[in-house]
Amino acid sequence: RPGAQEWVPPRADVEALTRAVHDCRGCELWQPATQAVFSAGPDDAAVALVGEQPGDQEDREGEPFVGPAGRVLAEALQAAGMDAEQVYVTNAVKHFRFTERGKRRLHKKPVVAHIRACVPWLEAELTAVRPRVVVALGATAARAVLGHEVRIGAERGHVLDGESHDVVITTHPSALLRLRDRARYGEEFDALVADLRTAADAAA
C-alpha cells in the first residue's frame, strides 16, 4: 500500500523509529514542514496518548505537545493525578500540515489520506511500547487508532477492549483552546480529566 510503510524499519525500537521518520516520504506533508515530530516519553509506558499532528511550535522544536495544546494537556494530566513524565506521547500524523497566511502558518487538519499514510509509524511505535491503554485525543487520533471514523461525543470515556491494548477516546486539548466561555472551558476540561483518569485506572 502507499504511505509510510517502506520507510518504517521492521521490528525497530522507538529510538530507531525516531531516527528513521526523518526520511519518510510516505505522503506530501514532509516537504513544507520543518521536520518530522515523533514521540516523547518512556518507551515502556503503560499509557500512550495519541494526538492529531504537530502544531506550529512542535514543528519548529521537533517535540510533540510543546505548544498551547501541550500546556492544556499537561494541566489535565496533572489534574488526573498522572505523571506527565510517565506517559508516552505521540501523534497520528508526524508532519505539520498548514497554510501560510502572510508570515503566519495556520494549522490545517490532516485528511484521511494523511492519516492512512502515516499510520504505519503509529503501529510500529505501539508495537514497540506495548502500552496497556492507548488514549486517542480527538477524531483524527481515534481514526488512526481504531481504523474507522468515530463520533467522539458518543464514544468518549469508555474503555474499548482491543487485542493488544485497550483504547479510550476523548477530546483533543486544542478544542478547549477555542472555548472563550469560562464555564464551558471548565466543563470540557473536567471531562478531559475524567477520561484521562479512566485511562489511568484501566492501565493500573
Q: Does 58 bind ligand URA (CB under 6 A)?
A: yes
* Main-chain dihedrals φ then ψ at residue 10, nearest 5 degrees: -70, 145
Only one of the segments 15-23, 54-62, 115-123, 183-191 lies at the binding site for ligand URA (rule: CB under 6 A); that segment is 54-62
Pinpoint the alpha helices (H) of 62-111.
68-79
Does residue 137 contact residue 52 with C-beta atoms inside 8 Å? yes
> By rule CB under 6 A, what string of x and - marks binding of each residue 30-49 to ligand SF4?
x-----x-------------
Q: Does 188 bind ligand URA (CB under 6 A)?
A: no
> By rule CB under 6 A, what string of x and - marks binding of each residue 87-106 to ligand SF4?
------xxx-----------
Task: List the single partner that 65 binds among ligand SF4, ligand URA, none, CB under 5 to 8 Å by kind.
Answer: ligand URA
**How many Å apart are CA 139 and CA 152, to the nearest integer?**
6
Considering only residues 86 through 145, tell me which ones interact with ligand URA, judged by CB under 6 A.
91
Considering only residues 22 through 51, tell me which ones interact with ligand URA, judged by CB under 6 A.
51
Q: Does 26 bind ligand SF4 (CB under 6 A)?
A: yes
**Choice from 3, 26, 41, 64 touching ligand URA (CB under 6 A):** 64
Does residue 139 contact residue 110 with C-beta atoms inside 8 Å? no
**How many Å apart are CA 56 and CA 66, to the nearest integer?**
10
If you count DSSP H runs as helices and E runs as strands, how many of each does the chain have, helices first?
8, 7
Q: How far is CA 84 from the centre of its chain?
A: 14
Nearest partner of 175 among 67, 72, 37, judged by Cα: 72
**How many Å apart are CA 40 and CA 14, to the nearest integer?**
10
Task: List the single partner that 36 binds among ligand URA, ligand SF4, none, CB under 5 to 8 Å by kind.
Answer: ligand SF4
Q: Does 53 bind ligand URA (CB under 6 A)?
A: yes
Q: Does 50 bind ligand SF4 (CB under 6 A)?
A: no
Q: Does 27 bind ligand SF4 (CB under 6 A)?
A: yes
Q: Does 59 bind ligand URA (CB under 6 A)?
A: no
Contacts of 152 (CB under 8 A, 6+ apart): 138, 139, 142, 169, 170, 171
Q: Does 116 bind ligand SF4 (CB under 6 A)?
A: no
Q: Does 29 bind ligand SF4 (CB under 6 A)?
A: yes
